[in-house]
A and B are shown apart, each in its own frame.
Chain A
Amino acid sequence: MRTHTSQAADRPAAAVIGDDGLDALIRALTEAGRRVLAPTEHAGAITIGDINGLADLPRGRGDVQAPGRYRLTETEDAGWFAHGPTAEGWKRFLYPPEECVWRAEAKGASWREEPTTTDDADSADTLALLGVRACDLAAVAVLDRVLGPEGAADPRYRARRERAVIVAVDCARPGGTCFCASMGTGPGAGDRYDLRLTPLADDPGSRFLVRAGSAAGADLLARLPARPADDAALAAAEATLNAAGQAMGRAMPADAEARLKRNLEHPRWNETAERCLTCGNCTSVCPTCFCSEVEDRSSLDGRRAERWRLWDSCFSVRFSYLHGGSVRESGAARYRQWITHKLAWWHDQFGTSGCVGCGRCITWCPVGIDITEEVAALPATAAAVPA
């Protein structure tokens, strides 16, 4: 991976930019041949899409997010990045929902491998991710552990990830379902960014403190119209984060892992299952859910074969299928798998929580099941009577 340094030598450690700086940043990324992805307004929601310039970024657009509800709003100030977590995260660009991972043509009794498009390092897009929230950056760190050099090392994920430039934007106003502060993942971006923008409290939508997190970020920063950050700017950035941290409407109980592990047979699972539609929305919007199906396909004449990796969800019955029946037939067992994996088993598997507190699963659940509420509903000690 690229080496991330907190400060490149003789570069400004921090600077303040305004609209012109943001504009120059997008142009610099585009001119470098990158595909620039950022929050965009699409079909009544803010979601990640391609942008060509500053004009494509939503301005003065906020959102109301609540369990099972999402609505776009106008904000008082006409600033950038005034919205909460985007409808979908960045996962689909680093780890696409469908990907051919192997391809071959029959040759005699055997076969000859052919390159898949993504094997070819040069043909893959070189991404710039602009406007990555702290929670989503934490989610990228989680995916790095699962799929990146620290995990199973999916070469395609790794190639995209290593070449991507990440511009994080800290949150001035948390969304209605956010709880990153209680997960320790936000509202300020942690590591793994190239540039980090923090809205300044006095003018959150159009003036940003910019900090470089890598040599590439420092190079970019040096090319932007900016003024050096003074103490007042640093304090204004700090003030933004303090205010945001205090504005979180939700918190995950600190002992979530222990609560879940101690209550694997609690009656609550059946109660929640009565509301849960097992639709899998939560796993598809979750920025860290990585489960995949491997599908083998062949041409009609059987001469060509391909292997595809497709996003999958533990909410499907088929997911745990064994000859004779699935391990997790009941909705209760599948809901339990999802939440215990996110908040408990993930610690055993990857040494970190699988939930970063983005709140998407709460917003996009058709029946408004709230992951924080579900954990809080379990007793902090073992249930006396198993379900």
Chain B
Amino acid sequence: MRMAPADAATAAARPMPEPRQETAPAARTPDLMAPRPFTVERVTRDVSDTFTLELRPLEGPPLAFQPGQFTMLYLFGVGEVAISVSGDPDRPERLVQTIRAVGPVTRAMTALKPGAVVGVRGPFGRPWPCAEIEGRDVVVVAGGVGLAPLRPAILHVLARRGQYGKVALLCGARTPKDILFRRDLRRWGGRLDTSVAVTVDRASAGWHGQVGVVTKLIGHAPFDPEEAAALVCGPEIMIRYTVQALNDRGVSLDRIYVSMERNMKCAVGFCGHCQFGGSFVCRDGPVFRFDRIADRFAVREL
């Protein structure tokens, strides 16, 4: 795989930053495992199995967060799951989280109505390096609900559009019915300064867009591979092929950031479930600069 040239006097030669540490261990309070109650203000059904909650704390300040961070979302007496914040980081008054119902806890959450109360711990984890990649082209690659943790980064970049080079957004979904945040995608795609491409695994009648895996979009997307930084989130297999395709086009591994998923029980570095080699994904991730994990990523079942 290609790494950044050590001596090139281009923007690409700037050392790429690591995701920042957002939760200083020293600042941890004794009630790390206690959820804080938030009221559900609004529920939006996005696609068949996915919905978005807008939450407001019962009391106390809103939850300021960095794009890419997640919370532990708790349904009283039922259970707790790791969910990324999908809202606008410049408007943290409402905590926005997008959930795909796949199992007991997330399915039970589909019954939430405005006025219900859920518990929130967090935010946790290292964010996308939005400030650090200013000046570069930005290519965002999302698979399925992987678009949710990327949405805050996209909103951050578009709100400061002048600070970045070209912006390309590449999304994959299983079928046209599964395309998340359609309104956003339309709005972003309508901007002259942003390129949006969507592909589906399986087309249905009336779909005139691209068919195939999201990696197919990488070859034609408008960005300068010597210059761009890539933000990638989706199933692990999708990350694998996307990194390969980006690297093949010339994006060095130290300019590719990925968000990893592992089983999470505590989110504060002591349940051990999220281990990925020497990292706790909850604390040292979920966003990793790919060159830092490339060796481990290649090992099966690690």
Residues on A facing B (Cβ under 8 Å)? 101-102, 104, 106, 109-111, 113, 146-147, 151-155, 264-265, 290-294, 296-299, 302, 304-305, 307, 309, 312, 314, 319-323, 327-330, 332-333, 336-337, 340-341, 344-345, 347-349
B145, chain A: closest CB distance, angstroms: 10
Contacts of B35 in A (CB 8 A): 102
Q: B269 touching A152 by the CB < 8 A rule? A: yes
- With A307-B33, A345-B277 already in contact, the answer to whether A153 and B28 are too (CB < 8 A) is yes
The reply to whether B265 and A292 contact each other, CB–CB distance below 8 Å, is: yes
Residues of B40-95 contacting chain A, CB below 8 A: 58, 74, 76-80
Nearest Cβ on chain A to B39's Cβ, whole angstroms: 7
Q: Which residue of B lies closest to A269 (CB)?
A: B301
Partner of A113, one of B25, B34, B80, B265: B34
Is A151 in contact with B269, judged by CB distance below 8 angstroms? yes
* Partner of A106 from B76, B80, B115 at Cβ < 8 Å: B76
Chain B residue total in the interface (Cβ 8 A) = 42
Known pairs A146-B270, A320-B273; A294 contacts B77 (CB<8 A): no
Task: Collect the chain B residues with CB atoms within 8 Å of residue A104's CB.
Answer: 76
Question: B263 interface residue, CB < 8 Å from A?
Answer: yes
Residues of chain A within 8 A (CB-CB) of B79 are 296
Contacts of A330 in B (CB 8 A): 301
Known: A292-B265, A296-B78. A152 touches B270 (CB 8 A): yes
Task: Jot down 9 A-B pairs with beta carbons below 8 A, ordered by A.
Answer: A111-B76, A151-B270, A154-B32, A294-B80, A296-B79, A302-B77, A304-B77, A312-B271, A328-B302
- Give the chain A neighbours of B37 by CB distance below 8 A: 110-111
Residues of B within 8 A of A110 (CB): 37, 58, 117
In chain B, residues 279-302, which have Cβ atoms closer than 8 Å to a Cβ of chain A? 279-280, 299-302
The dominant DSSP class at the A interface is mixed
Q: For the complex formed, measure the closest distance between the CB of B42 and the CB atoms of chain A, giving whole angstroms.
A: 15
Given the complex of chains A and B, what is the CA–CA distance between A193 and B216 in angstroms? 62
Please report the C-alpha to C-alpha distance between residue A200 and residue B2 in the assembled complex, in whole angstroms: 63
Q: In the docked arrangement, what's the CA distance between A332 and B299, Å?
A: 13
Q: Supply 7 further A-B pairs (C-beta < 8 A) apart from A109-B39, A151-B270, A349-B280.
A: A102-B33, A104-B76, A292-B272, A296-B78, A298-B78, A320-B273, A322-B261
Query: How far, in angstroms, from A292 to B270 measured CA to CA in the complex?
Result: 8
| Contact with B33, one of A265, A294, A299, A328 (Cβ below 8 angstroms) | A294
Are B25 and A155 closer than 8 Å at their CB atoms? no
Q: Are B271 and A328 in contact (CB under 8 A)?
A: no
Minimum CB distance partner of A327 in chain B: B301
Contact between A294 and B271, CB atoms less than 8 A apart:
yes
User: Contact: A345 with B278, CB < 8 Å?
Assistant: yes
Q: What residue of chain A has the Cβ atom nearest to residue B39's Cβ?
A: A109
Q: How many A-B residue pairs have CB under 8 A?
A: 122
* Residue in A153, A292, A304, A333 whose CB lies within 8 Å of B301: A333
Task: Give the 10 A-B residue pairs with the shortest CB-CB distance, closest first.
Answer: A298-B77, A348-B278, A291-B272, A333-B301, A305-B77, A152-B270, A155-B30, A345-B278, A294-B265, A110-B117
Knowing A109-B117, A294-B266 are in contact, say whether A265-B272 is a contact too (CB < 8 A).
Answer: no
Please state if A305 and B76 are interface contacts (CB–CB under 8 Å): yes
Give the chain A neighbours of B192 by CB distance below 8 A: none
Most buried by A among B31, B116, B278, B279: B278
Report B-chain residues with C-beta under 8 Å of the C-beta of A290. Answer: 270, 272
- B103 CB–A CB distance under 8 Å: yes
Q: Which residue of A lies closest to B115 (CB)?
A: A109
Write out the residue numbers on chain A whose beta carbons fall within 8 Å of the beta carbon of B272: 290-292, 312, 314
Residues of B within 8 A of A147 (CB): 270
B271 closest partner in A (C-beta):
A292
CB distance from A261 to the nearest CB of B (A): 9
- Confirm or deny: B275 has a beta carbon within 8 angstroms of a beta carbon on chain A: yes
- A240→B68 CA distance, assembly (Å): 56
Which residues of A have CB within 8 Å of B116? 109
Report how far A312 CA is from B273 CA in the complex, Å: 9
| Interface pair A111/B103, CB less than 8 Å apart | no
Residue of A nearest to B265 (CB): A294
Nearest CB to that of B116 among chain A residues? Answer: A109
Contacts of B32 in A (CB 8 A): 152-154
Nearest CB on A from B113, distance (A): 10
Once bound together, how far apart are the Cα atoms of A249 and B78, in whole Å? 50
CA distance A310 to B301 in the complex (A): 24
A344 CB contacts on chain B under 8 angstroms: 278
B117 touches A111 (CB 8 A): yes
What separation, in Å, do the CA atoms of A330 and B301 have in the docked complex? 8
With CB as the reference atom, state the residue of chain B lying closest to A112: B37
CA distance A204 to B107 in the complex (A): 63
Please, which residues of chain A bring their CB within 8 A of the CB of B262?
Answer: 320, 322, 327
| A153 and B271 form a contact (CB under 8 A) | no
Contact in complex: A323, B102 (CB < 8 Å): yes
A328 and B301 form a contact (CB under 8 A): yes
When distances are taken between beta carbons in the complex, the residues of chain A under 8 Å from B28 are 152-153
- Interface check B229, CB cutoff 8 A: no
**Complex: chain A residue closest to B100, CB-CB:** A323
Report chain A residues within 8 Å CB of B278.
Answer: 344-345, 347-349
- CA of A349 to CA of B25 in the docked complex: distance in angstroms? 13
Tell me if B268 counts as interface (CB < 8 A to partner A). yes
* Contacting residues of chain B (111-170) with chain A, CB-CB under 8 angstroms: 115-117
